[in-house]
Structure 1
Amino acid sequence: MSGAEKVMLGLLADIHKATVKSGEIDADFVHKALFNNAEWAFSWELSGMVSDEDFPTPDYVYETASILSAWRHIEASYKHLDDADKATVRDAIGSEPEFQGFDGNNETEHFSAALVMIQDLKRFDEFAGRSCNSHSPSLHRHRQVVERTKEKQDLRQGELLDKDDLIDILKR
């Protein structure tokens, strides 16, 4: 989408917001997607109206979704452990397992995609309210976590992970 097209779409969203009190298209969402260079989000949010052909989803967005999904599974598994197993995991990895985000300065595409998915698309509600800025490079580690989590999920056929799985996935 060209810069001129973005300006026109933004202006149309402003007109829509000022004249239409309710409707299927959220003008604020349109503005946020344009501002964050996340036109791909249109095909995710408005799938009945536009397609991925109209606004293709970049590979980094799919990777971000995989990372968020892995961390969703890790955090959910940890929450279901008993207190003794939680303590074992904390002792082994040094803290509670929690998605810390991406480096907002150097991993900007993933950082921005995560914010759009969490805040605007409401796809990963459990991470809402977090800054998602790790303030240090984390993408390499996230990729390792995704691979290890996939391996464990395949073995467990999608069931929650146990303490040993969590330690194996997260121990550095």
Structure 2
Amino acid sequence: MGLNFTKEQRLMLLMICDLYKKPDNREFNAELISRAIVGGHDWAIEWEYGAIFPEKPDTDNDVSFVTDVLDMWRFIEHGYSKLSGPDRSKIEAAVPYRGKDPKFIGFDGNNETNLMGIAQMMIDGLGRFESFKGRSLNSHSPSVARYSAMLKKWPDIRNKLHSREMTADEIIELLSLS
């Protein structure tokens, strides 16, 4: 993976970014940070700004997993939107709890927060997968096992989608997994 900041580097970079904001919108208290550093009270900085120090940065595997999930769901949603009424009814009948207007609902905000954060960064921060913009991305229930099962089958389907949309049967196949 590319960049991997230490806590100290993270604080310095964020303080530099803060300088580019209007004085009334700055988030860091330079006097508090100076007093903590001079007094040897490093802990005070973590207490005050703990949220900027993640336990661990995102892993390449997690970023790849979220990217694959978002890619798969973008195709599912777009493919479903292009289907006829009878094909939509076929999906709903085959997968009654997931087949009616299937949408990507995100990751569990309690147990999959790192994955939810990666998805939010991709969508809202980087402007990727914009069709998901504006959603909470909190599924309120575990989703990794389901998405993992779907992703096992996804490459077989994805490789066939060069110049066509997903079929009802392909969508059923994915939505039925988990």
Which bin holds the TM-score, normalised by the shorter protein? 0.7 to 0.9
Q: How many residues align?
A: 142
Rounded to whole Å, the distance in 2 between the matches of 1:117 and 1:78 is 23
CA deviations 1:35-59 (Å, max 9, x no partner) are 485x98xxxxxxxxxxxxxxx9621
1:76 aligns with 2:78: yes
Aligned to 1:143: 148
1:153 and 2:158 equivalent? yes
Question: Conserved in 2, the CA contact under 8 Å of 1:75 and 1:97?
Answer: yes
1:2-28 Cα offsets, whole Å, 9 max, x none, are: 222211111100112349xxxxxxxxx
Equivalence for 1:2? 6
1:59-89 per-residue CA deviation (whole Å, 9 max, x = no partner) reads 1011100110000011111011011111111
Q: Give yes or no for contact 1:89–1:96 (8 Å, CA) kept in 2.
A: no
Distance in structure 2 (CA, Å) of the matches to 1:154 and 1:104: 31
Residue pair 2:110, 2:140 contacting (<8 A) in 1 also: yes
| Whole-Å separation in 1 of the counterparts to 2:53 and 2:84 | 41
Could you tell me how far 1:144 is from its partner in structure 2? 1.4
Listed as ranges, the gaps of 5+ residues in structure 2 are 24-50
Counterparts in 2 of 1:35 and 1:93: CA distance versus 1, 3 Å: farther
Q: Which has the larger radius of gyration?
A: 2
Give, in angstroms, the shift of residue 156 of structure 1: 4.3
Which residue identity is paired with 1:83? G
Whether 1:17 aligns to 2:44 is no
Which of these residues, 70, 85, 88, is aligned with residue 86 of structure 1?
A: 88
Map 1:112-123; keep pairs closer than 5 Å. Answer: 112-123=117-128
Aligned-partner Cα distance in 2 for 1:156–1:14: 45
Relative to the length of structure 1, the TM-score reads 0.74
CA distance in 2, matches of 1:113, 1:64: 7
Q: How does 1:41-56 map to 2 (within 5 A)?
A: none
Q: Distance in 1 between matches of 2:61 and 2:84?
A: 37
Task: Give RMSD over aligned pairs.
Answer: 2.3
Contact 1:88 1:163 in 2 (8 A): yes
2:84 & 2:64 partners in 1: Cα distance?
33
The DSSP-based 3-state class of the residue aligned with 1:88 is helix
Identity of matched residues, %? 32
